[in-house]
Amino acid sequence: MLQHFLDFSGKLSVFIFLAGLMVILRFRNKSFISIVPPITLVALLIWLSTIQASNDRDWRSEVNNLPRIEINNDDVTIHNLRNATWHEGRVTANWESRNYDLNKLSSLDLIVEPFNDSKLMAHTMLDFGFEDQGHVIVSIEARKEIYEEYSLVAGALRQFELIYIFGEEKDLLTIRALVRGSVLHLFPIRAEPEFIAALFKDLAMSANALHVEPKFYRTLRDNCTTTLVKHIDRLYQDKIGIRMETIFPAKAGELLHELGRMDTNLSYQQAYEASRIDHLIVKYRDEGKNFSSLIHADSELAYGKQ
């Protein structure tokens, strides 16, 4: 996990190193050096307050377009739905417009991608099932520029904007399981169709708002999990709030089970073992239109639903 905290962006790390070196070489008096950290912190906070979020940057192709969602009664049109294809780390970004019927929203799953070297940090996504119309994953992410790499420190220092990606299931699962070699867990959520539809609308509203008012991704306050929790808490009577499992989202499945919101009768340990889907993504990678249905059928079988 340490590498994710120390992986500064290039410009930021060089700036901090040179600034620190100049201070040490110029002032060797220990009493002066003792006040350098608080002064540096104040200067850093002032500098951060001057940075403004923007939609006008040289974005990576996979986050180049913000989604726009039109909802007219129960009819949904998603513009800039991402349906990218990935080849050995290279991406061909495809952006589509698709129509969905909110009356067909029948399932909701939590996808958890633990960081490879951490039992605490993870990326989380929500997977909405529209029956015969397929699945849409909503992934709240750091919107990276062409030469940027993700890091927790850079995310805390306003180096990334926020983006809501509405994407094809195969796209957002393939990049993680096949290209990155990540472990993926799928946890079914027990929720009424009305709640699922309201949550989808709320996410769509916030995604649309970013066109007018871009926001920063923030490592703790506005990351993938804490932002999803804010949406859920606006609709859910028993608030989740900020707790250990939202700060360390690799434990999000455990929280879901603890709250009685995981759609299973299995114990958490049994559910955790049943939740793995990365091997299914590898297995069904070439199945085309049947990709999603096969993965969800096998997942339900693992949970004992069939």
Q: pLDDT digits over 226-259, tens only? A: 888 889 888 877 788 777 777 788 889 999 999 9
Q: Is the dihedral of CA 189, 190, 195, 196 positive or negative?
A: positive
pLDDT given at position 20: 58
Q: What pLDDT was estimated at residue 15?
A: 56
The mean per-residue pLDDT over the stretch 183-193 comes to 95
Among 25-29, 59-63, 109-113, 128-132, where is mean pLDDT lowest?
25-29
Residue 165 dihedral angles phi and psi, to the nearest 5°: -95, 120
Residue 18 — very low, low, confident or very high, per pLDDT cuts 50/70/90? low
CB 86 within 8 A of CB 178: yes
Q: From residue 304, give the alpha-carbon distance in Å to each of 111, 165, 171, 191.
A: 19, 31, 27, 18
